[in-house]
């Protein structure tokens, strides 16, 4: 079994889900007392969140690069970053390590293409929804068109993530709001919805949508397990 290097803590709520899913998947595959072989580096999210909102991405890049190097030195065979937004920095981090970082958008795209879908809605932080690092990868590498909510909706999606979900706060009004946005994206042509923040699956489940939901936490973990068990 290969060893996964996990960069977590952004937030720990979703990192907990990664760890649970990875172990459940290994047990399904190998049975018995099998559990995932991994190294988890869990960061303090507070300074990172402050750097994000003060546009200090160089600080975050340096911080996560050091962590990736530590995981490589400790024996990780590859790295997964347990958050969608930080995949903005994958190209820069990858240049400083020899082991691969497996991109969360590629994991989502694999499932989207399996279902034959060409146009999907994307929910996530403002950074993930508005910047090109996620949408452009899906379009240029996987030929998947991405729709996002309008400005007012994006602001509320982002607020719920940072003020509620990363703190483990799950509320019915927020769930209903997300469900309405999914309906709006479907009306605009979305054939499925990417939950492009690893906390959103804590709030939204497949039953909450009439079109397919792509849980990036689950799909990233599944992708990682495939790599773990490769010969």
Which sequence positions are flagged as catalytic?
Answer: 83, 197
Residues 183 and 201 in one domain: yes
Residues 34 and 62 in one domain: yes
Residues 179 and 128 in one domain: yes
Residues 99 and 199 in one domain: no
Please give the residue range of the domain that contains residue 189. Answer: 104-215
Residues 109 and 207 in one domain: yes
Report phi then psi at 7, rounded to 5. Answer: -105, 105
**Tokens describing residue 182:** 């999914």
Residues 174 and 201 in one domain: yes
Residues 90 and 154 in one domain: no
What sign has the CA pseudo-torsion 19, 125, 104, 79? negative
Average pLDDT over residues 70-80: 98
Residues 110 and 98 in one domain: no
Q: What is the pLDDT of residues 146-171, one digit of tens each?
A: 999 999 999 999 999 999 998 989 99
Alpha-carbon span 122 to 98, nearest angstrom: 31
Residues 118 and 168 in one domain: yes
Counting the structural domains of the chain, the total is 2
> In the prediction, which pLDDT does 13 show?
87
Residues 111 and 90 in one domain: no
Residues 114 and 139 in one domain: yes
Through-space distance between the first and last CA atoms of the chain, rounded to whole angstroms: 9
Average pLDDT over residues 107-120: 96
> In the prediction, which pLDDT does 231 show?
75
Confidence of residue 11 (pLDDT cuts 50, 70, 90): confident
Alpha-carbon span 154 to 129, nearest angstrom: 8
Q: Where residue 47 sits, what CATH number does that domain have?
A: 3.40.50.1860
Residues 85 and 164 in one domain: no
């Amino acid at each position: 079994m290969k060893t996964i290097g996990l960069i977590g803590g952004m937030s720990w709520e979703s990192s907990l889900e990664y760890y649970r899913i990875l172990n459940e998947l290994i047990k399904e595959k190998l049975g018995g007392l099998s559990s995932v072989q991994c190294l988890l580096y869990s960061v303090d999210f507070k300074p990172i969140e402050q750097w994000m909102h003060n546009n200090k991405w160089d600080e975050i890049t340096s911080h996560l690069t050091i962590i990736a190097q530590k995981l490589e030195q400790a024996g990780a065979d590859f790295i997964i970053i347990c958050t969608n937004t930080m995949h903005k920095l994958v190209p820069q981090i990858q240049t400083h390590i020899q082991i691969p970082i497996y991109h969360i958008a590629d994991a989502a795209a694999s499932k989207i293409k399996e279902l034959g879908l060409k146009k999907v809605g994307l929910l996530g932080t403002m950074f993930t929804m508005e910047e090109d690092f996620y949408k452009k990868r899906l379009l240029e590498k996987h030929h998947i068109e991405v729709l996002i909510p309008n400005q007012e909706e994006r602001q509320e999606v982002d607020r719920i993530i940072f003020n509620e979900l990363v703190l483990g706060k799950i509320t019915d009004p927020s769930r209903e709001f997300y469900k309405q946005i999914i309906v709006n994206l479907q009306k605009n042509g979305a054939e499925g919805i990417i939950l492009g923040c690893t906390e959103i699956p804590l709030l939204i489940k497949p039953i909450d949508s009439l079109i397919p939901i792509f849980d990036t936490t689950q799909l990233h973990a599944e992708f990682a397990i495939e790599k773990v068990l490769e010969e």
